[in-house]
Structure 1
Amino acid sequence: MPHFKFYYFDVRGRGEVIRLLFHLADEKFEDERFGMEQWASYKPEMPLGQVPVLEVDGVKISQTTAIARYLGHQFHRAGTNAVDCARLDMIAEVIQEFMSSEGMGKFSRVLLGMIQANKEQFFKEMVLPDIEKYAPLIEKFLLENGNNGLLLGDRETWVDVFAAESFSKVIDYGSPDALDAYPHILALINRIFNHPNIKKYVAGRKSTPA
Structure 2
Amino acid sequence: MTYKLTYFNATALGEPIRFLLSYLDIDFEDYRFEVESWPTIKPTMPFGKAPILEVDGKVLNQSAAISRYLAKKAGLAGNDDWESMLIDIAVDNIHDLRQALAGYFYDQNEESKNQKYVPLFKETVPYYMDKFEEIVAENKGYFVNGKLTWADLFFVGVLGYLNHMAKIDLLEGRPHLQGLKDTIENIPQIKLYIEKRPTAMF
TM-score by length of 2: 0.83
CA deviation string 1:26-78 (max 9, x = no partner): 11111111123332333233211110111222322222211111111122221
| Residues 168, 191 of structure 1: alpha-carbon distance in 2 compared, 3 angstrom cutoff | farther
| Residues 63, 105 of structure 1: alpha-carbon distance in 2 compared, 3 angstrom cutoff | farther
Greater mean deviation of Cα atoms: 162-171 or 21-30: 162-171
What is the distance in 2 between the residues matched to 1:36 and 1:10?
A: 8
Task: Give the deviation of 1:172 after TM superposition.
Answer: 6.8
Maintained 8 Å contact 2:97/2:128: yes
CA deviation string 1:90-149 (max 9, x = no partner): 111101111111x34554x59xxxx598xxx9xx8586344212112222321332x2x2
Letter in 2 for 1:134: Y
What is the distance in 2 between the residues matched to 1:15 and 1:106?
A: 21
Maintained 8 Å contact 1:104/1:126: no
Residue 10 of structure 2 aligns with which residue? 11
Matches within 5 A, 1:111-126: none
Maintained 8 Å contact 2:76/2:149: yes
Q: Secondary structure at the match of 2:75?
A: coil
Task: Give the number of equivalent residue pairs.
Answer: 197
- 2:183 pairs with 1:191: yes
Matches within 5 A, 1:1-210: 2-101=1-100, 103-107=101-105, 128-129=121-122, 130-145=124-139, 147=140, 149-170=141-162, 174-176=167-169, 178-210=170-202
Letter in 1 for 2:199: S
Maintained 8 Å contact 2:15/2:158: no
| Residues 22, 73 of structure 1: alpha-carbon distance in 2 compared, 3 angstrom cutoff | same
Percent identity of equivalent pairs: 30
Q: Pairwise CA RMSD of aligned residues?
A: 2.8
Maintained 8 Å contact 1:15/1:64: yes
TM-score by length of 1: 0.80
Bigger fraction of residues in helix: 2
Task: Give the deviation of 1:154 after TM superposition.
Answer: 5.0
